[in-house]
Amino acid sequence: MSTGVFIISAPSGSGKTTLVERLLREVPQLLFSISYTTRPPRKNEQNGRDYFFVSREEFEKMIAEQGLLEWAEVFGNYYGTARRFLEQARQTGQDLLLDIDIQGARQVKEKLPEAVTIFILPPSRQVLEQRLRARSQDTEAAIARRLENARREIHGYVSYDYVLINEDLDQSARCLRSIVLSERARRNGAAAGTAAGEAEKARPIAEACRRERLVRQIQPILESFGG
Ligand code: 5GP
């Protein structure tokens, strides 16, 4: 069985973390790559679970030693994917799941053109703003900053294979699961890993999430962010 690489990107507040956690619970044989970062841990974050939190010196050493599959500077901090996660996935016959930004996705696609990319969009600017307020984790200034970042980041969807418009969490979770199962079946044949019936059911759901199929739904979202 060949190793599949799935890349998920999204502006913050689009529900990415919840969707990734659900995917990992629901689909077997998926290895989540825990990134390295130089940003300080937030409350509730654990070293080695959410990220590996390292100093700038340690990070720069990893770059110099070619230990990273990709890396980028996001909001003034370094973030990167360790090469060893890809090696581990290959050795254990799992697929690899990366939660990384657009710059990282581009680098991985250059090295591994068969990697599957998925972009999560909020249904509109208004919904994103409501969600950011509802989780009451940010100050007004931070909410304004996140909305401004989202406005810039959403245009990145154009280079992704699939787009999830996260209106309904259950539906988005089903689409995400279907993308992984259908891509897996395409790569390995339906018999490997998943029951053939399951892969067959997954295919049309995944196909409906292809970026080029969603142009009309994406347009009003871009407009809600001011084009
Ligand atoms: P946060 O600091 O909110 O956890 O993440 C900020 C951004 O960094 C998110 O868009 C997230 O996807 C991205 N990110 C997290 N890990 C990596 C990584 O290893 N590489 C890259 N390029 N981006 C990452």
Amino acid type, 46: Q
Backbone torsions φ then ψ of 22, nearest 5 degrees: -65, -45
Cross-strand pairs, 163? 119
The side-by-side arrangement of strands in the sheet containing 68-74 is 52-53, 36-37, 77-82, 68-74
**C-alpha distances in Å from residue 49, one per residue of 53, 61, 87, 221:** 10, 22, 19, 33
What is the tens place of the pLDDT at every residue in 176-218?
A: 999 999 999 999 875 555 677 888 999 999 999 999 999 999 9
Within 6 A (CB) of ligand 1 lie 9, 12, 35, 39, 70, 72, 74, 79-81, 99-101, 103-104
**CA-81 nearest atom, ligand 1:** 19
Beta carbons of 79 and 52 less than 8 angstroms apart? no
State the Cα–Cα distance between residues 175 and 22, nearest whole angstrom. Answer: 12
Query: Sorting pLDDT into bands at 50, 70 and 90, what band is 62?
Result: very high
Nearest Cα residue to atom 24 of ligand 1: 100
Calculate how far, in angstroms, residue 93's C-alpha sits from the geometric centre of ligand 1.
25
Calculate how far, in angstroms, residue 103's C-alpha sits from the geometric centre of ligand 1.
10
The side-by-side arrangement of strands in the sheet containing 116-121 is 30-32, 95-99, 5-9, 116-121, 162-165
Which H helix or E strand runs over 119?
A: strand 116-121
- State the pTM of this model: 0.94
pLDDT over threshold 70, residue 135:
yes
Which H helix or E strand runs over 80?
A: strand 77-82
Calculate how far, in angstroms, residue 168's C-alpha sits from the geometric centre of ligand 1.
23
Cross-strand pairs, 30? 95
Calculate how far, in angstroms, residue 223's C-alpha sits from the geometric centre of ligand 1.
25
Calculate how far, in angstroms, residue 163's C-alpha sits from the geometric centre of ligand 1.
18
Calculate how far, in angstroms, residue 201's C-alpha sits from the geometric centre of ligand 1.
32
State the Cα–Cα distance between residues 143 and 129, nearest whole angstrom. Answer: 7
Q: Which is nearest to 81 in space by CA: 73, 95, 71? A: 71
State the Cα–Cα distance between residues 206 and 95, nearest whole angstrom. Answer: 17
Q: What pLDDT score was predicted for residue 142?
A: 86
What is the tens place of the pLDDT at every residue in 152-178?
A: 999 999 999 999 999 999 999 999 999
Nearest Cα residue to atom 9 of ligand 1: 101
3-class DSSP state of 211? helix
**CA-36 nearest atom, ligand 1:** 19
pLDDT over threshold 90, residue 227:
no
